[in-house]
Amino acid sequence: MTGSVWRAENVHVSFGTTPRSRALDGVDLEIRSGEIVALVGESGSGKTTLARVITGLQAPTTGQVLLDGEPLGTGQRALRAYRRRTQLILQDPLGALNPRHTVYESVAEGIRLHGLAASDPEGRSEAELVAAALSSAGLRPPERLFLRYPHELSGGQRQRVLIAGSLALSPELLIADEPVSSLDASIRGEILALLLRLRETLGLGVLVVTHDLGLAWNIADRVAVMYLGRIVESGSTEEVLQRPQHPYTRALLSVVPEIEGMEQTILTGEIPDPARIPPGCRFHPRCPALERGEASAAGVDEACRTQDPRLLPLPLPGHAAACHLAQVRAGAATGTATESGRTS
């Protein structure tokens, strides 16, 4: 499928004064129309900041976001046009919907802001555009919901109204921040099925921001795992979740109930303050492979403490990891030299 390509290139976002808090510390990520990418990590990993940067709501301190090779404009008009194509769906539908607005008003807001009824190629009225968006979000018959208020809806219906508000603008990329974290298990499945259907029927790209690797397993084509402002592992969902190479990914996966056969690893400590990123590998103070002696057996323990590993391709299809041990193991498996750590 041909379509649009969003690319975050070496994005840094820092806050505050010395020491600066490095919320994003050199992130590259690509998303294409028609694919679902899961951005996974614990709270504090920087994934929501990255989502806001890709949506154009947060300017990078350095680095850039490109759409089809063109940098995001900075003027109001350019940003408004970009945000119409790139829609963020917030994680708390009750908080995101105005309690005094009916469903109709909530969905019509964006249509009015962008003057879409006047320019609709099929000549549809505002009410027809609202109805079409609600239908696409699975709320049928849409007219029955027009006059309802958020408190009169179920959690799943509220999430669908938020999605309808985005769909009303005919976006090409949806960025869904923890889209099902506030929902019951049965409704979660319905919302995930809706995102999959929107990808199939409208060719939308979807970036799902989540702390839950199980959710990524159910829905995503590709996975990017974030830790403390960096992507530490990325690849196709099958590759990353069936052959995780980074100890952080392994630890996250080991506690997903749906994934069997992995020894459970409970990570110790909290994710560090992004104003005090540890030297060497930023994950090293919590790394189970370092703690268990696997890194020293491979001869990379010193590198773990002193050298910041880069996200490098592994000799596995489309798979990359920022880990000295993963690079040495992958090099040993194929008998090649690696850039980080020792040669095999």
Q: Which is nearer to ligand SF4, 193 or 297 (CB)?
A: 297
The residue from 22, 230, 324, 329 that contacts ligand SF4 (CB under 6 A) is 324
x/- letters, 278..297, toward ligand SF4 (CB under 6 A)? ---x-xx--x-xx----x--
Q: Is 231 in the site for ligand SF4 (CB under 6 A)?
A: no
Residues in contact with ligand SF4, total (CB under 6 A)? 15
CB of 102 to ligand SF4, least distance (A): 50
Which span sits near ligand SF4 by CB under 6 A: 117-125, 158-166, 251-259, 321-329? 321-329
What is residue 175's three-state secondary structure? strand
DSSP assignment, residue 310? -
Q: Is 325 in the site for ligand SF4 (CB under 6 A)?
A: yes
281 residue type, one letter: C
Length of the chain, in residues: 344
> 196 near 36, Cβ under 8 Å?
yes
**Order of strands across the sheet that contains 173-177:** 86-89, 173-177, 205-210, 36-40, 222-227, 230-236, 320-321, 312-313
Spatial distance between the Cα atoms of 84 and 81, rounded to a whole number of angstroms: 5
Q: Is 329 in the site for ligand SF4 (CB under 6 A)?
A: no
Q: Which is nearer to ligand SF4, 22 or 284 (CB)?
A: 284
Q: Is 311 in the site for ligand SF4 (CB under 6 A)?
A: no
> 91 near 85, Cβ under 8 Å?
no
The residue from 50, 153, 209, 304 that contacts ligand SF4 (CB under 6 A) is 304
Cis peptide before 171 (omega within 30 of 0): no
Interacting residues with ligand SF4 between 134 and 193 (CB under 6 A): none
CB of 134 to ligand SF4, least distance (A): 46
Q: Which is nearer to ligand SF4, 220 or 290 (CB)?
A: 290
CB of 305 to ligand SF4, least distance (A): 8
x/- letters, 254..283, toward ligand SF4 (CB under 6 A)? ---------------------------x-x
CB of 290 to ligand SF4, least distance (A): 4
For the range 186-192, what are the long-range contacts, defined as Cβ-Cβ under 8 Å and sequence gap of 24 or more? 187/154, 187/155, 187/156, 187/159, 188/215, 190/138, 190/156, 191/156, 191/159, 191/160, 191/163, 192/218, 192/219
Residue in 53, 55, 51 with CA at minimum distance from that of residue 86: 55
Which span sits near ligand SF4 by CB under 6 A: 50-58, 103-111, 211-219, 318-326? 318-326
Q: Is 227 in the site for ligand SF4 (CB under 6 A)?
A: no
DSSP assignment, residue 91? S
Which span sits near ligand SF4 by CB under 6 A: 74-82, 156-164, 266-274, 319-327? 319-327
Q: How many helices and strands (H and E) does the chain possess?
A: 15, 12
Which span sits near ligand SF4 by CB under 6 A: 123-131, 204-212, 217-225, 323-331? 323-331
Spatial distance between the Cα atoms of 212 and 253, rounded to a whole number of angstroms: 9
Residue in 282, 272, 331 with CA at minimum distance from that of residue 304: 282
CB of 123 to ligand SF4, least distance (A): 57
For the range 116-124, what are the long-range contacts, defined as Cβ-Cβ under 8 Å and sequence gap of 24 or more? 116/168, 116/169, 116/170
Q: Is 247 in the site for ligand SF4 (CB under 6 A)?
A: yes
The residue from 161, 323, 328, 330 that contacts ligand SF4 (CB under 6 A) is 323
Question: What DSSP line would sit under 183-211, residue for residue?
Answer: S-HHHHHHHHHHHHHHHHHH--EEEEEES
User: Which residues of the chain form contacts with ligand SF4 (CB under 6 A)?
Assistant: 246-247, 281, 283-284, 287, 289-290, 295, 300, 304, 309, 323-325
